[in-house]
Structure 1
Amino acid sequence: MRMRIALPPDQVKKKSCNSDSDTPKSLFRMMSFLPFLIHSALISLPLAHAITNPSLLRATASALPIQLLLQSPVSFENVAVHASSELLLTSFGSPTLYTFVPKTMNGTLVELHTFPNATSLTGIAEYRPGFFALIASTVNPTTRHMVPGSVVLWSVDFTSPTSNPSVQKLADIPTSEGANGLTVVPGHPDILLAADSYSGSIWQIDIRTGRASVAIEDEVFLPGAPAPAVGINGIHARDDEYVYFTNSQKGVFGRLAVRVDGVGNVSASHPVETLVSIQSVETEQQLPDDFAVDCEGRAWVTVRPGALALLEPPAKGNGSWTQTTVLGNAAGSDADIVEPASVTFGRGSAAEERTLYVVTAAGQIFAAEI
């Protein structure tokens, strides 16, 4: 199977980067990768619980190829990437954190750690070099809501020189029933934001104190439809003080500027902005999920049931955002990409920073050079 992303000529080969990193870039350059590289080499070995790649497809020699790296039975929810380029993957239907090395031929999806008292993992974000926070919970299979009191924020530390990362609990998110996307407040690596898809709110979690509370509520975040409709979903902060988000049910991509006061409370410093309404001539509704924002401010948004959309800001801030379907199609009739859920840029080299990794709820991992 070979696919190509059809982009207008003026969009080809623009610089891109992984912008969902709120830790100063200089720290990433200075950190030692040795512990994680040792870990990567070890987990790439075949294990009893490993899910092997049935077919690794070769990329075409044409510009902007898309390559299927893995097809697995695991339904992926979110993806983050370590500085060594290894992918970290969560699943809404499993409490297990998975890893995958995209550079490895015949790559293997490996079970890294299974979290206790949970049935689901959702958002994941790096809050310090080598430290990743993620959300674990128990989900009611009927309502698909998280059981109140079961939502926990965990930390996975990859800086340990041992083969296995260390795991510790950071905080409870006590009354949340839909903690989903996760990001870090720019300049405040100890304060994380979690999007609650059902209550239409953004939680703040101070990992120094373990305190979690609702920080921001807005009508734009609400689902706007009965359960199990999903409101605010993906959430990512950039160094420009803005926090970007999607609302799945409303088909919205937006942003808000945030500030942190002297005691660590997060609030919106300006009204929430709706930047783009994800639209299609092929279907009445699309459901934007997670996304990645590159260093030019462009957003690459996964759209269910089967597309990846490129949203571009207006030149010099004047005018409207534009949107282009760059993978699959809005009707979901492209059999090659099924239920895209999350996307991230690679890290570790210039080539990796031009590589976009797309994961799907159908267990697919794709790579595309942009």
Structure 2
Amino acid sequence: MAGKSGGDTRQSPDPRLHKIVLIDQVTSDSWCEGVALRPNGNVLLGKIEEPELLVLDLATAPPPANEFDSIKPRLFHKFQEASGTFGLCALRGTEREEYAVSTAVSDPANGQFSKWTVWRVTMPPEDSDDGPEISEIATLPDARFLAGMVALSERTLATADANRGCVWRIDIPTGQVSVIIEDDAMGAAESGEIGYFGVNRVRFTEKFGWASNTGSGFVYRFPIQWDDDGLDLKAVGPPEEIASGLDNSDGLTLLPDGSAAYICSYTSGHLWRLDMEGEGGAGKAEVVELRRDLVSPTVMELIYRDKREKPTLYVVCCGTVAADSFDGDRRYWLELAKLDKAKLQITVTVTTEVTYEYI
């Protein structure tokens, strides 16, 4: 292994960032598409190939005995009615520490995904040995492949559907599901190496929604309008291409003012910054390469800590070693991306609507 294992932290090559932290404790045969940084400094992770919510005790565990040891993730919760964990984000405006997690019954090797569900995970008190409280927020019977998820407000979630090419809206109090935007540009590519995945990540600022398309390598913005109370939004225009050539992209995140975004490639190991002329800037973004040595980077988060003006960029990856040194077998995940959509089996379940009220 090249470099130090177990959370590589180094000075940022980007003057906009405080530093870049690599969350590299996952094994090389794992695929994490959900990450959340807890207030106590620990990290929550979700694995596509297992219905597990993991925790990395980065803040509370003793440091490794030597630089080649690693803090191992520990199982925090296993979803009994699922086989994979996908999107993960912190909920807003809650009295307790709470998260939303999406799961599915899945067979990745054969491209079969069904029974998509979004759950509320309420964390136990810090001094408690209890497990989390789990309750259902919504089911999405028409979803095909849920990817990145974000909380728009205390009432609303948004999650990308990488195969259908849309962004779903989820009303948290009622569990009602609707579409924010659906466009051919955001769908899975019809040709090329990556044919299954389309829009993978979605982020929002005051004026725009941002979306990355894994299959095409494009990044889009679309204009949005928030409602009067700021709890929900709607798309008011089509997607506009602002960057291209970002093959097999993942992990889209951006500065709050929309002046720059960060995106990585899980096959080439690149980390890029996309510069805009402010949030209202028109035209294409300038793409700046920050790193090219990451192994399978997937999900990222920008976190402001300790009242610093600059955020820290956390990147989930398998370290900085060469791709041919994997000690596990991740080939079936890459093969999934090449599946013929005509052969894809997606189970759609018709359900009755259930309304949940939280007091």
* TM-score, reference length from structure 1: 0.70
> 1:270: how far off?
2.5
> 1:339: how far off?
1.6
> 1:15: how far off?
5.3
Deviation string for 1:92-142 (max 9, x for gaps)? 111001111334523331111011221111111112242110100011334
> 1:71: how far off?
4.7
Which amino acid counterpart does residue 141 of structure 1 have in structure 2? Answer: P
> 1:72: how far off?
2.6
Structure 1 counterpart of 2:335: none
The percent of aligned pairs where both chains have the same amino acid is 21
Contact 1:84-1:348 within 8 A present in 2 as well: no
Contact 2:218-2:244 within 8 A present in 1 as well: yes
Structure 1 counterpart of 2:270: 307
CA distance in 2, matches of 1:65, 1:82: 17
Structure 2 counterpart of 1:84: 40
Q: 1:243 aligns with which of 191, 209, 214?
A: 209
CA distance in 2, matches of 1:365, 1:70: 12
CA distance in 2, matches of 1:272, 1:349: 36
Deviation string for 1:25-70 (max 9, x for gaps)? xxxxxxxxxxxxxxxxxxxxxxxxxxxxxxxxxxxxxxx6766752
**Are 1:200 and 2:165 matched, yes or no?**
yes
Q: What are structure 2's unaligned runs of at least 5 residues?
A: 65-70, 322-359
> 1:242: how far off?
2.4
CA distance in 1, matches of 2:177, 2:20: 43
Structure 1 counterpart of 2:185: 220
Provide the secondary structure at the position in 2 that maps to 1:139. Answer: strand
Q: 2:220 aligns with which of 246, 250, 254?
A: 254
CA distance in 1, matches of 2:211, 2:124: 30
Structure 2 counterpart of 1:229: 196
Provide the secondary structure at the position in 2 that maps to 1:220. Answer: helix
CA distance in 2, matches of 1:318, 1:210: 36
Structure 2 counterpart of 1:283: none
Structure 1 counterpart of 2:329: none
Structure 1 counterpart of 2:243: 276
> 1:167: how far off?
1.4
Which amino acid counterpart does residue 127 of structure 1 have in structure 2? Answer: L
Structure 1 counterpart of 2:260: 298
Contact 1:202-1:217 within 8 A present in 2 as well: yes
Structure 2 counterpart of 1:33: none
Structure 2 counterpart of 1:343: 300
CA distance in 2, matches of 1:170, 1:251: 32
Structure 2 counterpart of 1:327: 291
Aligned residues: 295
- For the aligned residue pairs, the C-alpha RMSD in angstroms reads 3.1
Between 241-250 and 191-200, the greater mean CA deviation after superposition: 241-250
Provide the secondary structure at the position in 2 that maps to 1:234. Answer: strand
Contact 1:152-1:169 within 8 A present in 2 as well: yes
> 1:243: how far off?
2.1
CA distance in 2, matches of 1:95, 1:365: 27
Q: How do residues 1-370 of structure 1 correspond to structure 2 at under 5 angstroms?
A: 1-2=2-3, 7=13, 11-12=14-15, 14=16, 69-72=24-27, 74-103=30-59, 104=61, 105-106=63-64, 107-128=71-92, 129=94, 130-147=97-114, 150-158=115-123, 160=125, 162-163=128-129, 164-185=131-152, 188-225=153-190, 229-238=196-205, 240-259=206-225, 266-279=233-246, 286-296=247-257, 297-305=259-267, 306-314=269-277, 317=281, 320-328=284-292, 334=293, 337-350=294-307, 354-360=311-317, 363-364=318-319
> 1:224: how far off?
2.3
CA distance in 2, matches of 1:351, 1:102: 20
Contact 2:84-2:105 within 8 A present in 1 as well: yes
Provide the secondary structure at the position in 2 that maps to 1:182. Answer: strand
CA distance in 2, matches of 1:75, 1:352: 32
> 1:257: how far off?
2.9
Between 305-314 and 255-264, the greater mean CA deviation after superposition: 255-264
CA distance in 1, matches of 2:22, 2:174: 43
Compared with structure 1, are the counterparts of its residues 350 and 172 closer, same or farther at alpha carbon in structure 2 (3 Å cutoff)?
A: same
CA distance in 2, matches of 1:365, 1:76: 16
Q: What are structure 1's unaligned runs of at least 5 residues?
A: 17-63, 280-285, 329-333
Contact 1:78-1:342 within 8 A present in 2 as well: yes
